[in-house]
Structure 1
């Protein structure tokens, strides 16, 4: 269901968090991601994946409230239902228009402050 992930800031494999284990547990339960790699340099990082799409979390000093990712999905309705079934609050269910294309979208703000923009072309 996950097709691609795009960072808001610099790197979708280094979204800022303060605790890698807490992040890995929450995103595994909430988003259905699985841990695929841990790195120690240039900073502690955990990489999680789902459907071939990787998202990483790092203790890099970044501000989580100013970062996140846009996640392109193949079935926005299924994504919403799955996340809600996992106890995740969905925000701003709406249609956006970007570059002449309509997108069904919703937002999720994780406990760590990272914001996610789930979207699918209509």
Structure 2
């Protein structure tokens, strides 16, 4: 696929709350999520923010939880395009790999934001391994 990756879904890994991803300070985190990850601000106050990219909405919160213990996954339309975008924005995406989850194949890569939250970006493949 060519072009821009579209975000289709988000979900937690473990007990992470995707509506309250932990951050130490809202303002610098919002800056990173908008400038580097491509989200837009839906709402923001001193301790929380709601962000959107395509069909996905997430929340950031100063909630006392450790960002390095939080992680979530995003389903996207084009893992390769997103990897290139994030590489250009200095996100430092990991290697794209093929993995199986619940019997279904996916192309995936991982990235960590500077405050500690880990992301898994996935693109489902058909049974023949075609995106």
Q: TM-score, normalised by structure 2?
A: 0.86
Distance 1:2 1:89, change over 3 A: same
1:57-68 equivalences under 5 Å are 57-68=60-71
Aligned to 2:44: 38
Rounded to whole Å, the distance in 1 between the matches of 2:17 and 2:44 is 16
1:20-31 equivalences under 5 Å are 20-31=26-37
Partner residue of 2:87 out of 84, 89, 107: 84
Rounded to whole Å, the distance in 1 between the matches of 2:96 and 2:54 is 23
Q: Which moved more, 1:80-89 or 1:31-40?
A: 31-40
* Aligned residue pair count: 119
CA offsets 1:73-118 (integer angstroms, 9 cap, x no match): 0111111111111111111421110111111000001100000000
Rounded to whole Å, the distance in 1 between the matches of 2:17 and 2:69 is 13
Aligned to 1:19: 25
Which 5+ residue runs of structure 1 have no aligned equivalent? none
Contact 2:100/2:106, CA 8 A, preserved across alignment: yes
Which 5+ residue runs of structure 2 have no aligned equivalent? 1-5, 126-131
Aligned to 1:4: 9
Q: TM-score, normalised by structure 1?
A: 0.92
RMSD: 1.3
Rounded to whole Å, the distance in 1 between the matches of 2:95 and 2:81 is 16
Give the C-alpha shift of residue 21 in structure 1: 0.4
Give the C-alpha shift of residue 39 in structure 1: 5.2
